[in-house]
Structure 1
């Protein structure tokens, strides 16, 4: 396994939600195994608004905290990330067993033109499922939760310069 290959960027839209800190803690606790496995090198928390509780979690875990209101939160997190690859997560996302090996293999073997891998997420709204299927065929214009994307592919506004081919990955994300 290669050492410290990606940054985990976790988006928390509404820190005022009563369950938000618990969902954030669930996601960050799973990332510890990625750190121990040499895959995750740093963590960034992107919050939709200022929160003392989120700041305390970021300080306790050593994560970088970024406040972001407009555009794609993963682009804002990528600006603060230190690794070449970004794992995009939402607070409450819990990568299932086998995610470390899957992401290690993807990051280690991805060709330069392959800039986006997508973990399987549980079914959401019909529109969300449709968008993901269309993007698998036509390519993605922006990073979404569950994506592993090269940092350089993210521009300041969060949209890709062109459509990126999506490579579906076998690992799953569960929701806490």
Structure 2
């Protein structure tokens, strides 16, 4: 068997499986599944809960809220008070009551309320009355513009027209995250 080619091995395996009973095929399927998992495993279900919480503790609040959308178990983990209490206490935000053991998500709700009080959730946009457009006039140059129509270059009459498409931005801004309270960058 060791000296056979890959094609020969596959043919003999298919031949053996065709001759096996359904119970033997189930046994082979279980053996294969134990050796080679067909699906990706969720680390939160395999690791102890303490380790999963430790991993989640490194995430910022926005990422924790996004983790809650993965599955019901991730939602349960990402809304635990053990995670949100540390984020609140870091800013000196305390709750003024003792929650009962049946209340869950108190610290997350408190964090959201405190951020709303700071009015950081939305950037301020001026109203239509406050928005002022300054009348801009082009600067006129005293130097006459040269015409390059002989060499096929643009002339004074031809205006530079923008293409109907834009190329990709070399410095994209859609990836900038506005985690106002968790910015470690200066």
- TM-score category (smaller protein): under 0.3
Higher helix proportion: 2
Higher Cα radius of gyration: 2
Q: As a proportion of its length, which structure holds more strand? A: 1
